[in-house]
Amino acid sequence: NAGVTQTPKFQVLKTGQSMTLQCAQDMNHNSMYWYRQDPGMGLRLIYYSASEGTTDKGEVPNGYNVSRLNKREFSLRLESAAPSQTSVYFCASSDQQGSVLWGTEAFFGQGTRLTVV
């Protein structure tokens, strides 16, 4: 009963290094999301993918790229990490049931705690 799996759980990077955060869901959901959470800021949407083959920018996309590899997987890449990207990153997925007018529950991974020094 995995749900949404994120890797790694913790990471320390030096400024300028690159890395990819991996996310996979086994619930056959169409929509996947990447959020970052900073103290006092709540969760801010970085990128989302409404369905396989599509990605769109969220509120804070600068410095990030994403790939929706297939329906299960949605990765987040930091090409050149900066200290401002120190945060907790959450991947989430959800699905649409019936009418598109009603959203459905989003399921989250356990988060990746990233520190950029």
Q: What are 78's two structure tokens?
A: 């930091």
| Closest distance to another protein from the beta carbon of 82 (Å) | 22
Is residue 61 close enough to count as binding another protein by CB under 8 A?
no
Is residue 64 close enough to count as binding another protein by CB under 8 A?
no
Is residue 27 close enough to count as binding another protein by CB under 8 A?
no
Coarse DSSP helix, strand, coil percentages of the chain, rounded to the nearest 5 percent: 5, 50, 45
Nearer to another protein, 44 or 72 (CB): 44
Q: Is 98 exposed, middle or buried (0-12, 13-18, 19+ CB in 10 A)?
A: exposed
Q: Which stretch binds another protein (CB under 8 A): 8-16, 48-56, 60-68, 70-78?
A: 48-56
Q: What are 60's two structure tokens?
A: 């804070």
Q: Which of 46, 60, 74, 109 binds another protein (CB under 8 A)?
A: 109
Nearer to another protein, 19 or 50 (CB): 50
Q: Which stretch binds another protein (CB under 8 A): 11-19, 65-73, 78-86, 103-111?
A: 103-111
Q: Which of 1, 10, 14, 40 binds another protein (CB under 8 A)?
A: 40
How many angstroms from the chain centroid is the CA of residue 25? Answer: 12
Handedness of CA 81, 47, 49, 102 (dihedral sign): positive
The β-bridge relationship of strands 74-78 and 42-49 is: unpaired
